[in-house]
Amino acid sequence: MIHDSLQRRDALEGLTVEQLLEQRSSVVLLDVRPREEFDLGHLPGALNIPVTELRARMDELPRAVHIVAYCRGPYCVLSNDAVAMLREAGLTAQRLAAGYPEWKAAGLQVDLPRH
């Protein structure tokens, strides 16, 4: 019970941008926004599996790696939902406290569409 409570709190608080930058080489970034939003820009190297497709596409994710899910920002519930599904499937997952808009506004590198 305490472990479940800590996991829920961990999912809600999320990983800070600074923590992600320190761990970047050892995590898989999962953008759970709709494909249309992902195509307009995303964090470098992120995979896109919209939260609505996540259960059906879970096998596309590596099993032995820490997954960091993100979406539209700190109040976007998509990443919370994704983390719950990933953990339910036995994967190690956490959400990024910030989202794509905050990442971009901070001047950090983003992958943009090529025209």
In the chain, the DSSP E strands lie at 27-31, 47-48, 66-70, 93-95
Other Cβ atoms within 10 Å of 45 Cβ, number: 11
Q: Which of 39, 24, 35 is nearest to 111 (CA)?
A: 39
Active site residue 76: no
- Contact at 8 Å (CB) between 30 and 49? yes
Instruction: State both tokens at 33.
Output: 């926004």
- Contact at 8 Å (CB) between 113 and 41? yes
Catalytic residue among 11, 49, 71, 93: 71
Instruction: State both tokens at 47.
Output: 């995979």
Question: Would you please indicate which residues are annotated as catalytic (active-site) residues?
Answer: 71
